[in-house]
Structure 1
Amino acid sequence: MQRRTALMLIPALSAALARPSAAQPAPFPDRPLRMVIPFAAGGSNDIVGRVIAEGMGARLGQTIVVENRGGAGGILGNEVVARAPKDGHTFLLGGSGSFLISSLVQPRIPYDIIRDFTPIGFLGAAPNVITVNPGVAATTMGELRDLARGSRVPLSYASPGAGTTGHLLGALLSLVFGAEMEHVPYRGTGPAITDVLAGRVQILTNAAAPLRPHIASGGLRAIAVAAPRRLAILPEVPSTVEQGFSDVVSSTWYGLLTPSGVPAERIGALHAALNATLADAAVQQRLAEEGVEVEPSTAPQDFGSFIERDRQRWQQVVTRTNIRAE
């Protein structure tokens, strides 16, 4: 009787073993992925994103298709990702201006940067450089502060647009200097550089990459790198912190985010691929050419904590100066 029962159980057991376990996770990624860059093709954000997409795709065994969704200061591209399927196949190249600062200064945001996104990891940051037209009688942060305080007409500073990182850094300088300064917004970094070179505006802050050739030619004078330490590609330019202005710290940073609700194991796979890419010497060199200092996060949650801290810091500047993007 026992032998007969055992024989009857064999087919059922074989069938059970042949069925995949219900707890078996689906393969990931199982198709090409999509990286949304909330800027038009050709700029620093696009270059950084494509370098990362190529490296991560090779490590994940899938192509990562880059989709440029520029417009509205980053909001259009951010919203695409916030509303994307929660399967980890779509993620965002988020940045200090397009992701975080836009959420503080834009009057209407169709998402919440904390509730609707999950961090994957930090890439690194390009510290901003404070430059002036050579006709400005200042070579240090202290001299620029004294000039701003003593000027009958407020010093003017250019930015790539209202509500950008350059706008907020200029506003921060005004607060720290204790002097009124005039903001002159442009439609992009290029036109802003043109007018500062021509002397129509006195001050420009931006990431180092687009400013570097003009600093080298003497068209712009670099006053400081808005960071705790000097920048490798501009070693002769002192930092704001070493000049005694520890509150003047600003960078154009980059990180990856998915829609909220993506399974943790998929976030982990993307984070591992990102950090492996950032460990590649060739990738580090390419990002350094864009002024980006690689700084991978130990865990996705670390990037999330950084976003919270940076948001609180810039919220104080926005509130005190009543900045709003038009």
Structure 2
Amino acid sequence: MPVQTPTRRTLLVAAPALLAAPALAQTRSIGPAPYPDRTVRIIVPFAAGGASDTSTRVVAQKLTEVLGQPVVVENRPGAGGTTGVDYVVKGPNDGYTLALGGLSMTALAMGLYSRMPYDPVRDLVPISPTVLVPIGIGVRTGLGCNTLAEFINLLKANPGKYTYGSAGNGSSGHISCVAFLRRTGTEAIHIPYRGSGPVFNDLLAGTVDFTADSPGLLAPHHPDKVKALVMATEERSSTLPDVPTSAEAGVPGYKAYSWFGLYGPPGTPQAVVSRIAEAMRVVLNDPATVNRLDREMGLPPLRQTPERFAAFLREEIDYWVPIVRASGARAD
């Protein structure tokens, strides 16, 4: 069969398309690519396994779907979370490396450290909170305490004998235990770790005696291996409904919580902040994500705009810094 050659009419029709192709390619290459066009990293400043890590991985999974690019979690623990945050603060501000910030590496750290490597208000660009973290106290079952009153009596009878683990000096778990000990007039020895995961490993092994952490981390071990004695909140946790609140357990006024959220380094473009904030609005209203965070992990989503999140941080600093300084706790 002879090969058919294009007619003049075909050439005339095709010519504009052929001429337009380079022009279109040129048009697409003008200006920066829309954000994001590659992998986004979230630096979690604690070891894997804690509430900060597990909740952020749930968020990152859905955020990947919403943004259309991989969102990965990288753990950089140390110094109560300030090491990982400082890594982001001093890094590029193009929106591809974000910090998971929280109470411990902002308001609590300001009260604990005489000098910090960054200023939480000046050097962190608030984008979106992720979750609120209720905190409860859990003791190893080997202590034989079934109520908070029994545990307090044990501590009073043996001042300085028992130990508690936290995710690090200045972490929310650390300050929660300090506040508990001061309020109950008891003493115990603090052992800092590089995240909640290692704390629970040693708590289950009997190396430390108690800790303060989220319902989602206490629940898998309660009540067989770790007995949760109190939730330092006004309402009971849906994850641990049998655990009394502070008031119900006989220590009214004792409250402890934490929270986490996404931050960019100084100079993060407003367009990037808005893009991620809008994506997070979708993520934190997704029924499946909410179910995993709130119902399964005991970490209710915390929904705020970047502007409200910035104001919230300042409010938390005003509230917590005086409490930390009055406690006498230091991390340096």
TM-score of Structure 1 vs Structure 2, range by shorter chain: 0.7 to 0.9
* C-alpha displacement of 1:50: 2.4
Q: Verify: 1:268 aligned to 2:274, yes or no.
A: yes
- Between 1:198-207 and 1:27-36, the stretch displaced more is 198-207
- Is the Cα contact below 8 Å between 2:236 and 2:244 reproduced in 1? yes
Instruction: Output the amino acid matched with 1:118.
Output: V
CA–CA separation in structure 2 for the residues paired with 1:222 and 1:281: 28
Partner of 1:304: 310
Q: How does 1:96-111 map to 2 (within 5 A)?
A: 96-111=103-118
Change (3 A) 1:54 1:194: closer
Instruction: Output the amino acid matched with 2:237.
Output: L
Q: Verify: 1:184 aligned to 2:190, yes or no.
A: yes
Match of 2:79 among 68, 72, 95: 72
- Is the Cα contact below 8 Å between 2:105 and 2:170 reproduced in 1? no
Match of 1:52 among 42, 56, 59: 59
* C-alpha displacement of 1:196: 5.2
Change (3 A) 1:319 1:44: closer
Partner of 2:20: none
Aligned pairs, number = 302
Instruction: Output the amino acid matched with 1:50.
Output: R
RMSD: 3.2
Unpaired stretches in structure 1, ≥5 consecutive residues: 1-17
Q: Deviations over 1:70-121 (max 9, x none)?
A: 3333223212221233333331112333454334324542211110011111
Q: Verify: 1:228 aligned to 2:249, yes or no.
A: no
Q: Deviations over 1:193-248 (max 9, x none)?
A: 4665676755422222332233231x333221111211111111122245564532
- Is the Cα contact below 8 Å between 1:35 and 1:64 reproduced in 2? yes
- Is the Cα contact below 8 Å between 1:155 and 1:202 reproduced in 2? no
Match of 1:130 among 137, 155, 179: 137
Change (3 A) 1:311 1:159: farther
CA–CA separation in structure 2 for the residues paired with 1:140 and 1:68: 35
Q: Deviations over 1:131-155 (max 9, x none)?
A: 234566865556655665x536357
- Is the Cα contact below 8 Å between 1:141 and 1:240 reproduced in 2? no
Partner of 1:153: 159
Change (3 A) 1:245 1:152: closer
Partner of 2:244: 238
TM-score, normalization by structure 2: 0.77
Unpaired stretches in structure 2, ≥5 consecutive residues: 1-23
Change (3 A) 1:52 1:325: same
Partner of 1:318: 324
Change (3 A) 1:143 1:308: farther
Partner of 2:213: 206
Change (3 A) 1:54 1:198: closer
Percent identity between matched residues is 32
CA–CA separation in structure 2 for the residues paired with 1:190 and 1:54: 21
- Is the Cα contact below 8 Å between 2:60 and 2:71 reproduced in 1? yes
TM-score, normalization by structure 1: 0.78
- Is the Cα contact below 8 Å between 2:46 and 2:77 reproduced in 1? yes
CA–CA separation in structure 2 for the residues paired with 1:29 and 1:206: 34
Instruction: Output the amino acid matched with 1:115.
Output: R
Question: What secondary structure is seen at the aligned counterpart in 1 of 2:120?
Answer: coil
- Is the Cα contact below 8 Å between 1:40 and 1:46 reproduced in 2? yes
- Is the Cα contact below 8 Å between 2:106 and 2:120 reproduced in 1? yes
- Is the Cα contact below 8 Å between 2:49 and 2:197 reproduced in 1? no
- Is the Cα contact below 8 Å between 2:231 and 2:246 reproduced in 1? yes
Question: What secondary structure is seen at the aligned counterpart in 2 of 1:101?
Answer: helix
- Between 1:81-90 and 1:190-199, the stretch displaced more is 190-199
Change (3 A) 1:30 1:131: closer
Question: What secondary structure is seen at the aligned counterpart in 2 of 1:310?
Answer: helix
